[in-house]
Amino acid sequence: MIGVEYVAGFFDGEGCVSLARQKSYFRSPRWSLVVNASNSDPTPLEAIAARWGGRVRSTSRASDSHPGYLWQHVWTCPAKQVEPFLRAIRPYAIVKADQIDLALKFVALGPTVAKRLGADARVTQLREFIYL
């Protein structure tokens, strides 16, 4: 099994924590928290997927004009595993520590579709603050 310390270091260099807001004219915005990592070697990504779930997708950008381009492999953390994954690697993260902290605050706010699930305006304001 892959060590948490290794995963934290790997994620510091190759990972991404991103937050997206989709506006809607009929209801509160819909939010998405995406956690992924990419590399030209799928081996560490497959080990991460074996421990935390998700899948590794592979794409090639090679073309006639760029035949030497390597394959890119991307692991995406499943939504239900984002919080456990980030909590596990947080003590060892350096570069992405602040992003992980904000992501965990975002997760703590609860469901991401505000009006449909009855969230109040304060939660929406907090999400906006974290997003900015």
Write out pLDDT tens, residues 82-118: 999 999 999 999 999 999 998 998 888 776 544 444 4
Which of 15, 65, 20, 12 lies closest to 45, judged by CA? Answer: 15
Write out pLDDT tens, residues 43-87: 999 999 999 999 999 988 766 666 667 789 999 999 889 999 999
Residue 22 is predicted with a pLDDT of 77
Residue 132 is predicted with a pLDDT of 53
d(CA 96, CA 13): 8
Quote the pTM value: 0.79
